[in-house]
Amino acid sequence: MSPFHVDTVDLLRRTPVVVSALLVGVPEAWTTTPDVAGGWRPRDVVGHLISAEIDDWIPRAERIVAEGTSKPFDAFDRFAHVERDVDVPLDRLVARFGALRAQSLAHLDELVADEGDLERRGLHPSLGEVTLRELLATWAIHDLDHVSQIFAGMAGSHDADVGPWKAYLGILLRREDPAAIPG
Amino acid sequence: MSPFHVDTVDLLRRTPVVVSALLVGVPEAWTTTPDVAGGWRPRDVVGHLISAEIDDWIPRAERIVAEGTSKPFDAFDRFAHVERDVDVPLDRLVARFGALRAQSLAHLDELVADEGDLERRGLHPSLGEVTLRELLATWAIHDLDHVSQIFAGMAGSHDADVGPWKAYLGILLRREDPAAIPG
């Protein structure tokens, strides 16, 4: 495998461990607030990560390998978790995400037989042509993006507790004004 | 201990585990980029967290308990890590942070004998009167804020790899424009 491939899979393996260290057994006081008004609570983020394991990354990688650019990716439902996960406890969602991620990475190993496969092209329904390499990088950055969102929701849950220190805490200020600069 | 106290210590215990899951042994390709231009790489963030364990949280909690509002907190050097950590490998910084955090929490246990202690007041040199409770909440949110910064740097390291998907990845767009809205 190329360094890019090894490094990206390394990060993809870490995400469920990080999410688990952050959320399994955490007191509920930390997990009931969304990242921004109208945004996602930690459980919504984990639900979305689950949806992407099921419907996004591997199905799209398979489509690239099987069809190239002749058939665009299916659309991905960013809100599939809302009804599906309504009664599932957070700890169970985290465990499910970990299990699905392990399956996805095993599947990826089968799909990328040699490094040239990463240059294969597929067709994104809105973005146009993309490579399997870009899909792999996007998968990892999507993890980082959404786990950050968990941090913002957790911080927001204790917004009222920090008193005047809020002026120094960008993670709180940006929930109200994305361009805020801490003092 | 009050639920607030229990919940906050729970999060403070998690942070070194999360940072370790994210960074120990991670390929260097993920860790050489700052969160924003002129910002901090993951190793700078961990260095700053180390500085805060040494010079900020516990010394300020001690000052509150010993002096109340009669003597303001000492100033905290946000850049103490720059020279101190220049030759220290990232994995060693992460381990050092974990050891210091464990010591800090043991020390906190001695400082907060009963819940009334959390209402004790101290004097921040810029922000004025603050409570020990606010200090404790700020400690936890400061963790979340800076670990988010690690995620932004890691994402930034692979900015060039995601191709057209960048338009959907807020964590990349915000490194260039804090108010950017992903497509």
How many CB contacts within 8 angstroms connect chain A with chain B? 156
Interface confidence: ipTM more than 0.95: yes
Instruction: Chain B: give the shortest CA distance to residue A171, in Å.
Output: 5
- Residue range B18-28: mean pLDDT, rounded: 98
Distance CA(A25)–CA(A33), nearest Å, equals 16
- pLDDT tens-place string over residues A58-87: 999 999 999 999 999 999 888 899 899 999
Distance CA(A17)–CA(A177), nearest Å, equals 31
- Position B139 scores a pLDDT of 98
Contact B27 A4 (CB under 8 A): no
- pLDDT tens-place string over residues B37-91: 999 999 999 999 999 999 999 999 999 999 999 999 999 888 899 899 999 999 9
Across chain B, where does the E strand assignment appear?
A: 121-124, 128-131
**Mean pLDDT lowest among A71-80, A150-159, A169-178, B31-40:** A71-80
Beta bridge partners of A121: A131
Distance CA(A78)–CA(A48), nearest Å, equals 7
- A-chain residues within 8 Å CB-CB of B170? 145
Contact A164 B14 (CB under 8 A): no
- Position A137 scores a pLDDT of 98
pLDDT band at A145 (very low <50, low <70, confident <90, very high): very high
A 10 A CB-CB count for A25 gives 10
Q: Which of A7, A141, A165 lies at the smallest CB-CB distance from B171?
A: A141
Distance CA(A154)–CA(A23), nearest Å, equals 10
- A-chain residues within 8 Å CB-CB of B119? none
Contact B144 A163 (CB under 8 A): no
- Residue range A39-63: mean pLDDT, rounded: 97
- Residue range B97-113: mean pLDDT, rounded: 96
Average pLDDT over chain B, rounded to whole?
96
Helix (H) / strand (E) element for B142: namely helix B132-156
Contact B134 A161 (CB under 8 A): yes
Contact A158 B167 (CB under 8 A): no
Contact A128 B164 (CB under 8 A): yes
- Residue range A39-45: mean pLDDT, rounded: 97
Instruction: Chain B: give the shortest CA distance to residue A152, in Å.
Output: 8
Contact A11 B137 (CB under 8 A): no
